[in-house]
Structure 1
Amino acid sequence: MSWLDLPAGTLFGLGNLPYGVFSHGERTRRAGVAVGDQVLDLTAAAEGESFGRLLAAGVLNPLLAAGPDTWADVRARVREWLTEPRHADRIRPHLVPRKDIVSHLPVEVADYADFYSSEQHALNASRIFTGADDLVPVNWKHLPIGYHGRAGTVVASGTPVIRPAGQRKPRKATEPSFGAAKRLDFEAEVGFVVGAPSELGKPVPIDEFPRHVFGVCLVNDWSARDLQGWESQPLGPFLGKSFATSMSPWLVPLAALEHARVPQPAQDPEPFAYLRAAEPWSLDLTLEIRINGHLVSSPPFATQYWTGAQQLAHLTVNGASLRTGDLYASGTVTGPAKDQRGSLLELSWGGREPLAVGEETRAFLEDGDEVVISASAPGPGGARIGFGEVRGTVAPAVV
C-alpha cells in the first residue's frame, strides 16, 4: 500500500519503480523514479542521504557504479518513502507529473553491443535473403552472435532519426550507387545496462549477471537494410546500423523482474559450461510495436534463444572488461506468428508483401513515420509492470 493515490492498473506501481533522468521547467537534469503518473525527483529527495551524492550528476552512472548492495539500499529507501505515511509531507513536494517532464538518456553510454538472439528472426532473415528454409549460420546455436556498435549515436527516445546516406547495391544492379537509404527499418529489442564494471582479462561468470547488470530498457536498433546488405560482405553491420539507436527513458531494475523470470527455450546442442546458468534468466516480456499509432506487432521476448545472462557471459569470456554504462541489446525480438515479427523487414517479407498500416501500406519506413515500441511484464500480485516507450520519427536525409 502507498499513501500515494496510484491510478488503477498503473504499469508504474510500487513493484516497478524504474529509474530515469529528466528535467522540468528550468531545472537541471535530475535523477527520477517513475511511480503512477508522477516522477519522484530523486536528486532532491535524497539530499542528506548517504547515497545522495550518487544522484546529482545528471546521469545515473554514479549510482550504477556503486554496485548491487547500494542498488538494493536505494530501492528499499524509495519504497519506504512512498509507503510509510510519516514520509508523505517531505516527499510530496518532490513529485512531478510525468506528462510535464522532459526525459533524457538515463546513462552516459560507455559501449554499445547488439546481439542476434531470436531463432525465429534468424530463420526469417535466411528465408527472405536466400530462400533457404530452416537455415541459420552454422555457429548460431553455439554462441550468441553480436556486433559492436557506436555508443555516441545512442539517442534518447523522441530524438528524430535522420535517414542515413551511404552506398547500396540492389541485387540486380551491376554497380553500387550512393544516396539516401531507401529500405529504412526498425528493430524492436530489449536492452541491458551494466552498472558494476569488471576487470580487464577476467571473464564475468554467467551467475554474476545480476551483480553487474543494473536494469532493462527498450531499444530500437534502426537499420538501413540496403546499406547493410552491400557493406556486410563479409564484415558488418557498420554504417547500416551506426547512424542511430534509440533508447527508452526508464531503466527497470532487475529486482523488479523476479515475477517475469521464466525458463528459456531448450538449447540443442548444449552450450559450453560458461553459457550454462544455475537459474533461469529468460524474461516474459510482451512488446508492442506501433507505426503512426497503428499496432502492427506484439513480439514475445520469452522466445529468445539466448538470454541476457548468456550474452553478458559471452561478451566477457575473452577477457573484455565491462564499464559502467555499457549497453547491450538482445537483437530483434520475433515470435513464431506473423503478428509477432520484430522488424519491418519481416513484417513486409523483404518488401515483397507490404504491411497494412491503417489505410496505408509500408514496405519500409517513409519520412515522417513514427515508430513506438512499448513493453510490459508480470509483476507482483498479478499486476503488470511497464517499460515505458521508445519512440522515434524518421526525418529526411540531409544529402
Structure 2
Amino acid sequence: MISKKHITDRFISYVTIDTESDPASQTTPSTKKQWDLANKLVEELKAIGLSDVTIDENAYIMATLPSNIDQEVPTIGFISHFDTSPDFTGANVKPQIVENYDGKDIILSEAENIVLSPDYFEDLQQYKGQTLITTDGTTLLGADDKAGITEIVTAMEYLIQHPEIKHGKIRIGFTPDEEIGRGAHKFDVPKFGADWAYTMDGSQIGELEYENFNAAGAVVTVKGKIVHPGYAKGKMINSMYIAQDYIDALPKKETPEHTSGREGFYHLHTIKGDVEETKLYYIIRDHDKEKFEERKAFMLQMAQTINSKYNNEPITIDINDQYYNMREKVEPVMHIVDIAEEAMKSLNITPLIKPIRGGTDGSQLSFKGLPCPNIFAGGHNFHGRYEYVPVESMIKAVEVIVRIAELTASKKVK
C-alpha cells in the first residue's frame, strides 16, 4: 500500500522547486533553474536503488530497474517532464493540502478572494472525501508534470521494495522543456532502449490517450509605415489595423474556446505591435492531417487576399510544424494500449480513452521510433492558479505503473 504522506511529501518536494521553461531561450534546458530539480532527481533515483542513472549535458535523465525474471520480455519505459509552463508563474509555489474534501468551495487566497469552486470546476465533485493538493492562488501547482515524476519514482521504489512482483527491464526518463514543445527534441531513443513507453502526463484519473493534435506555430508579421500623425493623410500605414483585418479573416468559431473533441482551431495567443510593425503569434491544431494542412494553407491564402489590397504586400507568414498525431505510430502496436487499459480495469479504474487536445513528449517520441501512449497523472486545471491534484489519483497512477510492468512480464508480446 502506498502511503499518502509519502507520496504527498515527495510531490511537494518537487513542486516547491521552480522549473519554469522559457520559449525565448535557445539553450537546453531553456532555464538554468531546471537543473535544480534535475540534479535532485538523479540523487534520489540512485538513493532508491535504480541502476544506470545518467544525466546528460541537456539535463535528460535516464535510469534502469533491472528485470527480476529469467525469461526475456519487452523493455518498457515510463517518461515525464520536470519543467513547468511559462503560461503562469511557478516561482514560490506554496501547496495547500485539503483533507477529506467536502465538495464545497476551496479558498485559495482569502486576501485576494481567489476561490476554487465546484460551481465552475465541476470535476471537483468526483473527489469528495479525498485529499486534494491545491495552490495558494498566486502560482500554478506544477502537477503538470511533477505528479507524473512523483508517480514514476514512487512506482520504481515500490517495485524495488516488493521483489515478489515480477517484471522485466524498466527504463525511466525525465525531460526538460516539454512545455515549450522541446521535451523530446534531444531525447536519445536508442540510448533509452525501450520497446515502447508511456508518458505519465495526462489529467484526470482513467485517462488513456494515443491520439493528439497535429500542431504548428505561425508568426504573422505585418509591416506598416510611421509618419507624424499631423501630416499622415495618405502616407501612414498602421500595421495594427491591417493585423486586425487578418484576425477578423480567420473563422471566429474555430478557436479553443469554441471547440472540443477532435475539432481543430486557430489560436492567437500573443500580439506585439505598433504602427510600424505588428506580430501575431498563432498556434494551429487539428487531429486530422488533411484538415491540418488545409488550416495552414488557409492562413497563407488570407494573407494573400489582404496583401492584394496594398502595393507593398504588408503581411508575411512563417509557419513551422511542431509535432504530429501519434495515432499512426501507435495503432500498429495497439497491444501497448491494451495492456494499459487492462491494468486500469484490473484496478477498478474506468479507462477514459480519448484524443488529447494538445501534445505530449509521447507524440514526438512515437515519431522517433518509441511508441508512447499517454496515461493520467491525476492533475486538473493545468497551467494556472486553479490547478489541483487528488492524492488518491496519484496513488492509483502508481498502481497502474506497477500493474503494467507486471502484465508486460506475464504476456507474450514483442
Give TM-score, length-normalised by structure 1.
Answer: 0.26
- Pick the structure with more helix per residue: 2
Give TM-score, length-normalised by structure 2.
Answer: 0.25
Please tell me whether Structure 1 or Structure 2 has the larger radius of gyration of its CA atoms. Answer: 2
